[in-house]
Amino acid sequence: MTFSRSASALALCAAATLVATDMAQAEEFPAKTIEVVTHAGNGGGTDVTTRMMMLRARRELGQDMVVVNKKGGGGAAALEYYKTVPADGYSILTFTVGHAAVVAKGQGGMSIDELRPIARGTDDPQILMTKCGTYAGAADFVEQQKAEGITYGVTHLGNIDDVSAFMFAKKGGMQTPTMLPFDGGGELAVQLVAGAVDAGVLNLAEASAQIEAGEICPTVVLADERMAKIPDVPTAKEMGIPVSFSTVRGFAVHKDTPPEVAEKIETALLNAMNHTVYQGFLTSVGLDSTSVLGSDVWGPQIETTVNEMNAALKELGFIE
C-alpha cells in the first residue's frame, strides 16, 4: 500500500512537471528562428504576401522569420515537406487555394484535418490580363476566343490558375484554351509582355510593375464585384459569364501544435497584418482590411475551398 501511494505521488509529480514544462515552453516560444514554408517562387503573389506578413510578425514574436520555398507539384512539394517538420510552431505553412486543389486531388500527403488554421492574409481575385494593345477591350477579348482558342500563361497545371481560365472559356462559350505553365507570377508577367502567351491568369500584386508601366492591362476580373484599384475593369459576371475565383492565402500549423503556441502565433500574425505596413500592401494591390481574418473564419473557408476545387476539377476532368 505504501508503495502504491508513493507510486501515485510520483505519477502526480511527473504529470505536474510535464504540465509545467509545457507551460514554460509556451511562455518561452519562440526561442529560435521560425520558418514559413511556401510553394511559390520569388516575386509571386504568395511569396510577396508571406514576406509582407513577416515584416511585422518578426517584431510581434520577437524572433527572426525566414521563407522556405518548396516549389513543385503546385503545392504538393510544400505539403510533403511540411508533413515532416515537428508540430512545435517553428514551421508555419502558407496555405493557398493551390494547396486546396492539391488536397482535393489527394496529393501532397496531407489532409486539411492535419492542419490547424491560423489566419487569412488575402482574398485576392483572379484577373485575366493581356498585353496592352492586343485586344480592344473585354468584349473583344471574349469574342476572339469564340472564334479561336488562345494560350494562357499560368503558374501551375490542374490548379486555380488554369481552372479559372478553363471555366471562364467553358462558361462563356469560348474555344478551349491552351495552358502554358511558368515557375511563378513574376516570370509569367514578364513573358506576357514578351508575347510568349496571349493572356495570363494573375493577381494585381504579381503584375503591378508592368501594369504601372502600361505594358500589361487587366482585362477581366473573376470576382463578384469590381476591384477598387481597377474600377474600369469589368467582372466576368457582368459579362454574363458566371465565374468567380479568388486566390486566398493564409497560414496554418500542424494540428498537434501546442494550443498555447498556436494561439500566440495567431495573435502575432493578426497584429502584424492589421498593422499599417501590411494594410498599405493590401491597398496597393487593390484589396482592403477584410482580407485579414482569424482562424474562426479562415478554417471553414479552407474546407469550402477544398470542396469547391474538387467540384471544379471533376467538371473539367482533372479528377474522376
Indicate if the pLDDT at residue 180 is higher than 60. yes
Please indicate, yes or no, if residue 5 is contained in any of the structural domains: no
Please indicate, yes or no, if residue 1 is contained in any of the structural domains: no
Which residues form the domain of 170?
A: 125-239
Q: Integer distance in angstroms from the first to the last C-alpha of the chain?
A: 64
CB contact at 8 A, 252 and 95: yes
109 and 169, same domain (yes or no): no
User: What pLDDT sits at residue 12?
Assistant: 52
The model's pLDDT over 249-304, given as tens digits with 9 standing for 90+, comes to 999 999 999 999 999 999 999 999 999 999 999 998 888 899 999 999 999 999 98
213 and 252, same domain (yes or no): no
Domain closes at, from 239, 257, 282: 239
User: What pLDDT sits at residue 2?
Assistant: 43
**Residue with the three cell numbers 502567351:** 197
130 and 263, same domain (yes or no): no
Domain count, the chain: 2
Q: Provide the pairing of β-strand 34-38 with 199-202.
A: unpaired
Q: Is the dihedral of CA 161, 162, 164, 168 positive or negative?
A: positive
Low-confidence winner among 23-27, 111-115, 137-141, 186-190 (lowest mean pLDDT): 23-27
Indicate if the pLDDT at residue 8 is higher than 90. no
Indicate if the pLDDT at residue 132 is higher than 60. yes
Report the SS3 class of residue 39: coil
Indicate if the pLDDT at residue 3 is higher than 50. no
Indicate if the pLDDT at residue 316 is higher than 60. yes
Indicate if the pLDDT at residue 14 is higher than 70. no
Domain closes at, from 207, 239, 271: 239
* Buried-exposed string 114-151: b where 16+ CB fall within 10 A, e elsewhere: bbbbbbbbbbbbbbbbbbeebbeebeebbebbeeeebe
Give mean pLDDT, residues 128-138: 98
To 5 degrees, how large is the angle CA 289–CA 284–CA 300? Answer: 35
111 and 131, same domain (yes or no): no
Please indicate, yes or no, if residue 172 is contained in any of the structural domains: yes
| Helix H or strand E segment including 69 | strand 65-69
Q: What is the CATH number of the domain that holds 101?
A: 3.40.190.150
Please indicate, yes or no, if residue 320 is contained in any of the structural domains: no
Tell me whether residue 230 is exposed, middle or buried, using C-beta atoms within 10 angstroms of its C-beta: 0 to 12, 13 to 18, 19 or more.
middle
CB contact at 8 A, 205 and 51: no
231 and 256, same domain (yes or no): no
Please indicate, yes or no, if residue 205 is contained in any of the structural domains: yes
Of all residues in the chain, what percent are helix, strand and coil, respectively (each to 5)? 50, 20, 30
118 and 251, same domain (yes or no): yes
* Buried-exposed string 183-219: b where 16+ CB fall within 10 A, e elsewhere: ebbbbbbbebbeebbbbbbbbbbbbbebbeeebbbbb
Distance between CA atoms of 206 and 79, rounded to whole angstroms?
23
User: What pLDDT sits at residue 27?
Assistant: 60
The model's pLDDT over 193-248, given as tens digits with 9 standing for 90+, comes to 999 999 999 988 889 899 999 999 999 999 888 998 899 999 999 999 999 888 89
Domain closes at, from 219, 239, 259: 239
Q: What is the CATH number of the domain that holds 150?
A: 3.40.190.10
110 and 129, same domain (yes or no): no
Indicate if the pLDDT at residue 188 is higher than 70. yes
149 pLDDT tier (thresholds 50, 70, 90):
very high
Please indicate, yes or no, if residue 6 is contained in any of the structural domains: no
The model's pLDDT over 86-97, given as tens digits with 9 standing for 90+, comes to 999 999 999 998
